Structure 1
Amino acid sequence: MTRLSRRRFIAMSAATIAAGRASAAGRETAYWRGQALGARVQIALCGISQAEAAPLFDGLELELLRIESLFSLYRTDSALARLNRDQILRNPDPAMLHLLSEARAVFTATEGAFDPTVQPLFDLHARAFAEGRRAGADEVQQVRRGVGFDHVSLSPQAIRFHRAGMALTLNGIAQGYATDRLATLLKSAGLRDILVNAGEIRALGDGQGQGWTVSVPGGRALTLKDQAIATSDVSGTLVDPVAGIGHIFDPRGDAPPPSGPVSICHDSAAIADAASTAAVLMSSPERDLLRPLGAKIVGSAGIRS
């Protein structure tokens, strides 16, 4: 699939943005809804009409298809699916290398609490549940031998697994990447008041006033401006509802603590996504490791470092 370049996006959108600026005083808001990477996608563009935004939304749909072709676990032809199947991906797309480099930065900063090589654990427990049983301790131990992001090498020539049975999931960071990518394209086209939710949320500009109002778990409202927020919850999706096994697995081998949902703010939705995935697996003292990343936990009193 041809990548939607920044130049092509701007050229396609120039007339649309010019018209949108003319109507900005009325603060019209255009909306788009769709789906990507297993999440609902919602976009709001302030200062532009629905008709004026239509060419932009067409371009974003193409970009979401490209992102799916790279990072989807459920498309057998995606770059990620081919890597997991073949244990190597030659000449990877630069976007894949970029995302895995960001994942490695969070892996290193969290001392392994965020590790996208936990996918075999998900597969094991999902398969056992489908068979009407629980995964045995020996099975879990065997699968854990293939967990470890430090056994994945990254280069422009190839992404390669160095242990048998490895597999990656990018579900803890790719939705944030998609959010960042759409926001960046819209900003590069000249828009300034943007809200993108592709599983995680990024807000740019003032929205209808002093920022964009978003909801976080617990029903609280938070105002975002030029910032992203991501939330993770171990029990948000259950791989084995009978045993109460959630979809986030601790790569270090311990059972995830019952922390409830954790929301993280960051300039990047991808980093917020990965940091929140790690945070639900970390004790309160361990969460201090998130500070060098610039990740801020959203607490009951607001955002804190």
Structure 2
Amino acid sequence: MQTEDTVSSRCNRRFFLQIVAVAGTAAACWQLGLFGSTKSIQMARRSQPIMGTLLNLTVYGPDRDNCEEALQRTIATMKTLEGKLSRHMPDSELSRLNRTSVLLEPDKDLLNVLAMAQDLSRKSSGAFDVTILPLLHLHEKIRGTNDHPDPQLLASARRLVGHEKIVTDNKGIRLKEVGMGISLDGIGKGYIVDQGVAALRDLGFNNVYVEAGGDLMVSGLKEDTVPWRIGIRNPRPQQHQKLVTVAVSNKAVATSGDYLQAFTPDLKHHHIIDPRSGFSPPELASCTVTAPNVALADGLATTLMVLGKKDALDLMEPLNGCEAYMVDKNLNHFHTSGFFS
């Protein structure tokens, strides 16, 4: 699963992904039904550090001041959510849960994210697990050393991992084992992006682009009903390959890869950890998922990296509205049947 890093390093993630979403003013005009009218269309953009990365928002509307106000209110909403879900903020609900193993009367957003995470854990037979935090801490301590975790420490950390050890009831949330910890890095940022899109829609803005650390949602179409195209660069940019693109509209896109936060120069050890083994999965270099919402796309991209090609395809094919594109470490490409449809 994914960890948060400094703003600068997570900004690098966005450039590594090379996600290209071109939505010009003409696209907004078409969606708003203003082609041929005398009304002018205004565009407003804003960037904001959040969840250890950089948030980028773009909205279109007939009034610039309204666009700017909508961005300001949306960012405030997303920052409030960060204050609940981030493990790096000591006063967040998640941090309090991790410190004490108990959280009474949790906010609905934390409960919603945990419910989504638990569902994905069950569907993936534990390949996705938000109780991964003890293993992440262990690997982060030896980042850049080309070393392996101490076997005894690894075994101790693995005993603390298990999504079934999270108890949620009418009293709150409880972690069954002392020393357990939850990281929402692989799903929380996606949830916050989703809520940002929802906030903009509630304010009347349907032509939007919301992206954080490479996980994004696009809403609306380009002129003549042409969808936006998202380009995904290969995970080994030093080895030239043609840019792969996919057409999307009103859909989320998220990518996970071994190169985004590598712990060792050979990319064998990185921020995505298999909760069942305690080590980074060996097969895939990157995985891009399209889904109805960013939280699901984010969680699935991490899950598929852990599962590997065969099990990933088996998981994805029955999921309605979800598709995947994977690249292994030899730069072989695989995708679900509907990825380019």
For residue 169 of structure 1, what is the amino acid of its counterpart?
S
What's the offset of the Cα at 1:82? 0.8
User: What is the distance in 1 between the residues matched to 2:227 and 2:111?
Assistant: 33
After superposition, residues 152-167 of structure 1 pair within 5 angstroms as: 152-167=166-181
Q: CA deviation at 1:137?
A: 1.1
Distance 1:204 1:301 in 2: 27
User: Which residue number corresponds to residue 214 of structure 1?
Assistant: 230
- Matched with 1:204 is 219
* Aligned partner (choices 154, 175, 181) of residue 140 of structure 1: 154
> Match of 1:89?
103
Deviates further, 185-194 or 23-32: 23-32
Per the alignment, do residues 270 and 156 of structure 1 end up closer, same or farther by CA in structure 2, a change over 3 Å counting? farther
Determine if the alignment matches structure 1 residue 194 to structure 2 residue 208.
Answer: yes
Q: Is the 8 A contact 2:78 2:195 kept in 1?
A: no
In structure 2, the partner of 1:4 is none
Tell me whether 1:256 sits opposite 2:281 in the alignment: yes
CA distance in 2, matches of 1:123, 1:130: 14
Cα deviation, residue 256, structure 1: 0.3
For the Cα contact (< 8 Å) 2:284–2:309, is it kept in 1? no
| Aligned match for 2:79, one of 56, 61, 65 | 65
Give per-residue Cα distances to partners, 1:262-287, cap 9 Å, x unaligned: 00010011001000000011122211
Correspondence for 2:69 among 55, 60, 84: 55
TM-score between the two structures when normalised by the length of structure 1? 0.85
SS at match of 2:157: helix
Structure-2 separation of matches of 1:304 and 1:252: 28
**TM-score, normalising length: structure 2:** 0.76
**Aligned partner (choices 120, 123, 127) of residue 134 of structure 2:** 120
Q: CA deviation at 1:241?
A: 5.0
57-66 vs 131-140, greater mean Cα deviation: 131-140
CA distance, structure 1, for counterparts of residue 284 and residue 144 of structure 2: 27
Query: Contact 1:69/1:79 (CA < 8 Å) preserved in 2?
Result: yes
Quote the offset at 1:134 in angstroms: 4.3
Listed as ranges, the matches of 1:275-290 within 5 Å are: 275-287=300-312, 288-290=314-316
What amino acid maps onto 1:212 in structure 2? W
Aligned partner of 2:216: which letter? I
Matched letter for residue 272 of structure 1: A
Preserved CA contact (<8 Å) 2:60 2:67: no
Paired amino acid for 1:214: I
Please give the alpha-carbon distance, in whole angstroms, between the structure 1 residues aligned to 2:324 and 2:262.
24
Separation in structure 2 between the aligned mates of residue 137 and residue 34 of structure 1, nearest angstrom: 41
Q: How far apart in 2 are the matches of 1:139 and 1:280?
A: 24
Shift of 1:148: 0.4
1:245 to 263, 269, 276: 269
Instruction: Out of 201-210 and 85-94, give the one that drifted further.
Output: 201-210
- Closer, same or farther in 2 for the Cα pair 1:54/1:22, shift >3 Å? farther
Question: Could you report, residue by residue, the CA deviation over 1:110-163 in whole angstroms, capped at 9, with x for unpaired residues?
Answer: 111111111111111222448996421111011100000011012242111112
* RMSD between superposed Cα atoms in Å: 2.6
Q: What is the CA-CA distance between 1:164 and the residue it aligns to? A: 2.5
Q: Give the equivalent residue in structure 2 for 1:223.
A: 247
| Alignment: residue pair count | 286
Note the residue ranges of structure 2 that are not aligned, 5 or more in a row: 1-31, 235-242, 327-332
| Runs of 5+ consecutive residues of structure 1 not aligned to the other structure | 1-20
Within the candidate set 265, 272, 297, 2:290 is matched to: 265
Q: What percentage of residue pairs aligned between the two structures are identical?
A: 24
Helix, strand or coil at the partner of 2:199: helix
Amino acid of the structure 2 residue aligned with 1:267: P
Name the CA shift for 1:293/1:152 in 2 (closer, same or farther; >3 Å): farther
Residues 179 and 64 of structure 1: CA distance in aligned 2, closer, same or farther (over 3 Å): same
AA of the residue aligned to 1:203:
V
Q: What does residue 17 of structure 2 align with?
A: none
> Is contact 2:254–2:289 with CA below 8 Å preserved after alignment?
yes
Q: 1:98 to 1:220 in 2, by over 3 A?
A: same
Q: 2:184 is matched with which residue?
A: 170
Say yes or no: does 1:291 pair with 2:323. no
